[in-house]
Amino acid sequence: MSTSANEAAPAQQGAPLLEVRNLVVHHGQLRALSGISLRVFPGEVYAIIGANGAGKSTLLRTIAGLHHPTEGSIVYDGRDVTGMRAEKRATAGISMVPEGRRLFPSLTLEENLKVGATFARSGPWTVERVYDLFTWMKDRRNQKTSQMSGGEQQSVAIGRALVANPRVLLLDELSLGLAPVIVQRIYGMLPQILSSGVTVLLVEQDVSQALRVATHLQCLLEGHSTLEGRPADVTAEQVEAAYFGMGEHSAAAGSIPEGSEA
């Protein structure tokens, strides 16, 4: 289950870049998140896993500022950003690749990237550098993205988020609706993205994919945290139990490998 990628995990020390404290989010009457906490340190790949409806996307969207929590706080780079608007968080360095990609369909590929770069922080990522990362893009930069395949659209969405030069990149269900080989290829870009100094917080339904890239993971089930730890420290059985909510004893026993709040 755990592979060599995880050994290079940066130690969880110093100040976290992003900290979520006891987040409670409601969708109308529905309680989507019930007191979720997490700490993401610079250079990490923090994965949130869980089944459909576990609240993963809600968590990410709340961090991005698209939902507002009823309780709890979000601290980014030492600043409380809980009440900050989504666009202000984006310019402060929190970029999100939203679920379903959400490209601008009437804009060309290059225009999509240029919109992402309009309010960019200064940093290594430019439209040209995105073309270097995804080499196919340059020749097709004047095409409308609506004519592109799912994997290509996903790459454009990642590029659009990168050109803003984020410090934290939120990736929501990259694998959704894509063929496994395409998912592999897109996740294969992750090391190059990380080497530019970006910290990644991702949400993934595909557990094996998440475990392959993550340095830290948390499993959600119906808005509650059921497991947290480093991939190397959790067993397949624990993940399975936490993911499906089977056997209260195993979920409870395996929930605190590192003594963090769960």
Partner 1 sequence: MSWVNAIVQGILTGGLYALFACGLSLMFGVMKVVNLAHGDLATVAAYIGIGVIAISHIPFLWSVPIVVLIMAVLGYALQRSLLQAAITRGELTTLIVTFGLSIVIENGLLQFFTANNRGIGTGSSLISSSFSIGAGLQIAWLNVVIFALAVVVLLGLQYFLSSSKYGRLIRAVADDREAAQLSGADYRHVFGICAAVAFGTVALAGISYGMTTVVSPTTGTDTILLFAFAAVVIGGLGSLWGTLVGGIVLGVAQQIGAQINISYELLAGYLVFLAVLVVRPQGLTARRSQS
Chain residues binding partner 1 by CB under 8 A are 64-66, 85-87, 90-91, 95-96, 98, 102-107, 111-112, 114-116, 118-120, 160-161, 164
Q: Which helix (H) or strand (E) holds 73?
A: strand 71-76
The residue among 31 and 114 lying less far from partner 1, judged by its C-beta, is 114
Provide the minimum distance between the beta carbon of 160 and partner 1 in the complex, in angstroms, as a whole number: 7
Provide the minimum distance between the beta carbon of 52 and partner 1 in the complex, in angstroms, as a whole number: 21
Provide the minimum distance between the beta carbon of 169 and partner 1 in the complex, in angstroms, as a whole number: 11
* Eight-state DSSP code of residue 144: B
The residue among 21 and 89 lying less far from partner 1, judged by its C-beta, is 89
The residue among 163 and 207 lying less far from partner 1, judged by its C-beta, is 163
Provide the minimum distance between the beta carbon of 129 and partner 1 in the complex, in angstroms, as a whole number: 17
The residue among 114 and 230 lying less far from partner 1, judged by its C-beta, is 114
| Closest listed residue to residue 69, CA positions, set 38, 17, 19, 27 | 27
Q: How far apart are CA 144 and CA 197, in angstroms?
A: 30
Three-state SS letters, 154-208: HHHHHHHHHCCCCCEEEEECCCCCCCHHHHHHHHCCHHHHHHCCCEEEEEECCHH
Which residues are CB-neighbours of 118 under 8 A, at least 6 positions away? none
